[in-house]
Every structure is written in structure tokens, then in C-alpha cells.
Chains A and B, each alone.
Chain A
Amino acid sequence: MIETTKHEPNTIYIKPSKGLAALNLRDLWVYRELIFFMVWRDVKVKYKQTLLGMAWAVIQPVMTMLIFTFLFDRVAKLPTEGIPYPVFSFTALLPWGLFVVALNQGSRSLVAHNNMVTKIYFPRLILPMSAVFSGLVDFAIAFVILVILMLYYHVTPAWNLLWTLPLFLLLAIVTALGVALWLSAINVQYRDVNQALPFLTQFWLFATPVAYSASVISEKWQVLYFLNPMAGVVNGFRWSLLGIGNGPDITLWVSTGISILIFISGLFYFRSMEKTFADTI
């Protein structure tokens, strides 16, 4: 569409958007404080009127870890490449927890805030973004637990985690956000997403090397297995923190490629659906 009007500062042009909408990152920047406030509100409200409060952020991953330890270590005796099972699984539960928050809160973020969506303007990207970012708070708390576990079990981290871990955390966020963008936008029109979420979460957990090691997957299925972007993230966390696994190889690049693909396509899908959110929600 040819723009004939002279653009002036402070002037907003409202018109039907055609094709793939521009990302409009400038608006996102203008509203950056809203992301902060949304995350702050989520964290603040999450454990209100609970007896244990913030302790839940500790209890949830620790309980999962204990159950896994009992089932897969004591009963099934899965190989862990020489790492004590609690540390082995907890390392994976860190990014996995972040991902589950993104999957659940993120997918429901638009529908849950439908009064905001139908009443006022703000970049809608803020909703799934802040849902994912609020998962980072729980992540930070769980990270402290992991440090304690590693000290207790005398697991020495690999020296290069200082730069690899932030990169894998970024990859986890990109993956989580990408999936949240897709599902939240679809959920606006088809609430089937809500119904599919519990099953999807469970299925995805089994398809990701959280409770077990990725090395149990046979060689010929490896590349296929790593089409699951979370497999790359979890393996990366283990390699970075515990020094096990292969490090960056073809499987990581496959996973990373898929993550970026989901993220970019999610961003464009979200933006192209955004104009109809207020009408269809």
C-alpha cells in the first residue's frame, strides 16, 4: 500500500493492515514498563492467599525431582552418565519449568486478559511475553536450589558455563516464547488449545530428556528426536552445568534451528492475527 500522507511526529495512522503486519517494535519499547508491571503483578499475586507463599516456588520443582528420583533412579535405574540423579534431573527441570509456565500461562494470556484486549490499546505481544518472563522468577529461585544440590553432591560445574548458560537460557526463553506466541494466538479463536494443554504438556515432557538421558535414544533417531526444540535446550543445560553430553553438535543446531523457526513464525502469526483479537476473543 502506497503511503500518500506525510508522516508527522506524534501522529498515529490507523488503517486496515495488509499481509504480514510490521512488527512495530517501537510500540513495544514505548510500553516496556507495562511488561515490568505485568511480571511484577503476576509474581505478586501468584502466591497471595496461600499458606506457604513463595515456598511453593521451591516445593514444586523439588517434589517433581523427588518423584523422578524415586521412579527413574531407584525403580527404573536409568543411566545418568555419572551424575547423581537428583542433580541430573533438577538441572533439566529448570528450563522445563520455565517452558511449562510459558506453555500454560502464555497460551492462556490473551484469553485470560480479554477485558484488557477488548477495552484498550497496548501491544498485545506484551501479554505472552510477560507470562514467559514471570516464569523467570521461579527459574531464579529453582536455580538457587540447584546450586545447593550441586554443593551437596559435590558436582563441579564445567568452567565454560559462564557464557554457555546464559546462551542456553536465552534459547529456552526463545523456545518458550515462540510456542506461547503460537498457542496464545490460536487460543483466541479456538479454545481447543485450553483442552489440549494438559495432554500437550505431558506428551512434551516424555519427548524431552528431563527424567532420562538423551543418550538412551538410539543413534539413528537422534536427529529426529532433536526436532523437539526443548531436547536441545535441556541437553544444553546439562552440558553447560554438569559437563555431560556431547556439547554443541548437529543435534543442537537442529533444535536451535527449530526454536528460531517457531519463534519467528510465531511472531508473524501473532502479529497477523493481532488485528482480529479484540473482535474474536
Chain B
Amino acid sequence: MTTAISVKNIGKQYKIGAAESKFRYNMLRDVIVDTFSAPIRLAKAMIGKSDRRQNQNYVWALKDVSFDLEEGRVLGIVGRNGAGKSTLLKILSRVTEPTVGTVSVRGRVGSLLEVGTGFHPELTGRENIYMNGAILGMRRAEIDSKFDEIVDFSEVTQYIDTPVKRYSSGMYLRLAFAVAAHLEPEILVVDEVLAVGDAEFQKKCLGKMGDVAQQGRTVLFVSHNMSAILRLTQEAIVLNKGQMLMRGPTQEAVDFYLSSGQAQAGQRVWEAEDVPAASAPFRPTSLKVMNKSGKAVDTVRSTEPVTVEFEYQLDAPVTGLRVGMYLSTMRGEYVLTSFDTDAPDLFERFDSRKAGRYISRAEIPADIFNEGRYTIGVNASSFGVRRYFMDENAIAFNVDITGAPGTQWPEPRVGPVRPRLAWNIEKIGD
């Protein structure tokens, strides 16, 4: 086997806080001083004697990451927001340079970092296919030969000579993905494109990616969708805060990822630096999964109620806030979605919340879960206004089914729920 990608100790450092310090004026004096020193600063920066380095913080978005990937393999990359996944893909697709380390890549890299880059609204679908193809590094002859295939795949055949500004967003997206998907690079880098489009089209995209892998090409796949990762990849690496925590068979890596970030069993804590600035004024502090006796635990019993407790801080009053959870299985199938203001009386009473610390607590009744591992994603939003915070894999927990219905038969049961149903058996004849 030949190595398609070889990553050696790469790291990427970013400046942070540059913009903030620039706008953090407290006094008029600062503004005046800054205005007059601006040309001097500019001159200094131009000749490379920048004084910016001193008052700026640097952060490693990616640090000391190494791995080799053989040709024809599909590697999944999982990690929370800000773990360095996108930075890694950007380095591999040569959008940005690493600060340290080297990468050698064998063959053409096609990236689906952002489909439709370079699309111009005034150009027709046909013109955009050529334009976008050229941007992605395709030769004109190559586009010519694949043109019909691309148009077929995108399902916009009859609008192909219409300017894309008249397209629906779905059509636009399909066309964009179709061009990128037909690039046929030796190495394909995919980042979350599957999060867009309707279900039907997503299926088609997943199929296309499966084909790519089957043809023996190398694929790097980043997604928050664990079921897609499990389905499409054999191996995965887990990134956290820019570092590679592990690499292993996908199932193991996904398991590891879902249980990481828990300070102790059954509890997830957010430090100030874990929370994106864009979440303000919402600031999560902790999330607990607790058993009947109120203890945070990693494993709960199916036959007992489970309490989910989400603690957060509001730094300013928020109107229409709803805080809630998505519960899903390890495979990414959703089990339920629930918000703290679902009940009409709470909905009215908490129409707006003052600044302060809050706990939103929910009790999930006994006899809900089947055996296995579940994840809770949390979400804080004002419906139709803004989403403040979201973490799709905030915490994970196991369910033990001792004493649950049907455990007299030692066999696994399909389906994420295992309710105690009121069966009734009647003899209705001889």
C-alpha cells in the first residue's frame, strides 16, 4: 500500500484578540492617541517591525498532529467545534499554510469545504459549471466530458441556461455539489456538506461519497453526524483543542469522542474558554445526567427515572429563550427533542428571563430507554430569532436494562426505546 497523505507534526497558530483590542476604547484619549499613531503603526507593520505581536494573544488551533493515511482509505475526523478539524482540512487542501510541520500529499486534492465557491448569480447554470470547475482545478476538456453527468446529477436540466440567481436554494446547492462531486480527485476532503439540502439529496450525496471510496480513492470526512461517520469510514481520528487524542477503528473513536469532555462521570462542565463568544449572553456552565438519588452518573438504569440538569448563566435578559435537549443514539438517530418551555404555563411565565444563573431540569420517566449508549445535545435559542448555543454531543451516558421488560430473554432488542407497555392477553376462543 502507498501512503496518500503523510502528516508530520503539523501545527497552526492563529492570532486572536486583534480585533477586540482595536475596538476596546475606553477613553476619548485612547481614540485620539490611536488615531495619530495609526500611520506609524502602519509603517512599522509594512517594514515587518510590527509591535502587534506584543499585545496579541496567539493560540494553537492545531498542535503536533501526525498521521499517515494509505491510498483508498476513508478517514473520519471528529471533534467539537473549535477542535481544529476545519484547520486540518484547510491545511491539507492548501488553503492555509501550517505554522510548523510538513505534509506530503500524493495526488490531486479535491475539497468540498464549501460547495459553490465562485458561483456568480448573474451567470447561467451552464456557465457556472465551467467557472466553478475551473476554480476547482478541472480542465475545460474534463468539464466538457462530464458536463451531462453533472447536469443529470444536479437535477436542474431544464434550468441549465437560466441565471442561477433565479434558482431555488435547493437547486443552487445541488448544482454546486454536483460540480464538486465530479471533480474526481485522488484525495477528497469533505467538510459537513451533507448538513445541507433535503433528505433525498443528502442520501444521494452520501451515495456519491460511498462510490468515491469504492473506487479506491482516499477520502477525509469531517462531520458532526456520527451515523454518517460510522457508515462511511473505517477509521477515525479524534481532535480536541487542536490535538489529536486518538486514532482507531471508527466505532472506538466515536465512542471515545462521545464520552470525552466529561470532567467526571455523568457531568459536563464548560469553562469560560470553551464557550464561543458568539453565544453571549448565554453561557452554559454544566450539564448533568443524574440517577434517582440525584448523583451524577455515567450509567443509568432503564427502570428508574433519569434527571437531566442544565446549568447556565444569562449575562443579559433574553426574551423568548428556550433551553432544551436532543437525545440521540450513538448512531445518530434522534430519540426525542424537548425544551424547557414546552409546557404552556412555563412558556408564559418565562416569556423573558432576567440576567442571572439558571438551572433547567427535566426528568425523563422510567422505562424509556433500551440498552446502549445515548448522547444528549443541548440547545439554547429564541425561536425564529437566534440560536445562542448548541452542542450536539454535550454528554453521553449508558443505559443498563436490568429489570427492564423482556430481560428474561438474553437477546438484544432493536429500537432505541424499551417502554413498559400495558400488554393484555385475552383468550377469545378455543
Contacts and interface: CB of A to CB of B under 8 A. Distances in A.
Interface of A: 5, 8, 10-17, 30-31, 33-34, 36-37, 41, 44-45, 48-49, 113, 115-122, 186, 189-190, 192, 275, 278-279
Contacts of B186: 10
Nearest to A4: B102
A13 B127 contact: no
Given A49-B122, A116-B117, A278 B95 contact: yes
Interface in B31-46: 42, 45-46
Given A15-B98, A37-B130, A190-B42, A10 B123 contact: no
B94 A14 contact: yes
B103 interface: yes
B122 A33 contact: no
Contact of A115 (B107, B114, B122): B114
Leading 8 A-B pairs by shortest Cβ distance = A121-B94, A14-B103, A15-B102, A119-B114, A37-B134, A275-B97, A278-B96, A48-B122
A120 B120 contact: no
A126 B367 CA distance: 63
B106 A8 contact: yes
A233 B42 CA distance: 30
Contact of B105 (A12, A119, A120): A12
B258 interface: no
Nearest to A42: B120
Given A13-B104, A31-B137, A45 B96 contact: no
A48 B122 CA distance: 7
Contacts of B96: 275, 278-279
Nearest to A34: B134
Given A41-B120, A41-B123, 19 more contacts: A10-B108, A11-B105, A11-B107, A12-B94, A15-B102, A16-B101, A30-B137, A31-B134, A33-B140, A34-B134, A36-B134, A48-B122, A117-B95, A119-B117, A120-B114, A121-B94, A192-B42, A275-B97, A278-B95
Contacts of B123: 41, 44-45
A115 B135 CA distance: 12
Contact of A121 (B14, B95, B100, B127): B95
A37 B131 contact: yes
Contact of B103 (A15, A115, A120): A15
B109 to A, nearest CB: 8
B93 interface: yes
Contacts of A48: 122
Contacts of B100: 16
A186 B43 CA distance: 12
Contacts of A279: 14-15, 96
Give the most central of A5, A37, A189: most B CB within 10 Å: A37
A181 to B, nearest CB: 15
Interface in B130-152: 130-131, 134-137, 139-140
A13 B7 CA distance: 10
Contact of A14 (B45, B102, B111, B131): B102
A48 B136 CA distance: 25
A20 B317 CA distance: 53
B106 A11 contact: yes
A41 B104 contact: no
B208 interface: no
B42 A120 contact: no
A37 B134 CA distance: 7
B111 A10 contact: no
B325 interface: no
B403 interface: no
B391 to A, nearest CB: 25
B362 interface: no
Contacts of B42: 190, 192
A8 B97 CA distance: 21
A163 B105 CA distance: 46
B212 interface: no
Contact of A13 (B92, B103, B131, B135): B103
A16 B99 contact: yes
Contacts of B140: 33
A120 B107 contact: no
B134 A14 contact: no
A17 B97 contact: yes
Contacts of B109: 12, 121
B399 interface: no
B150 to A, nearest CB: 16
A9 to B, nearest CB: 9
26 contacts: A8-B106, A10-B108, A11-B104, A11-B107, A12-B94, A13-B105, A14-B92, A14-B94, A14-B103, A14-B104, A14-B105, A15-B101, A16-B98, A34-B135, A37-B135, A44-B122, A115-B118, A116-B117, A116-B135, A119-B95, A121-B93, A121-B109, A189-B45, A275-B96, A275-B97, A278-B95
A33 B109 CA distance: 18
A204 B101 CA distance: 45
Contact of A5 (B104, B105, B111, B127): B104
B91 interface: yes
Contacts of A117: 95
Nearest to B106: A11
Contacts of A190: 42, 45
B342 to A, nearest CB: 39
B217 interface: no
B127 A44 contact: yes
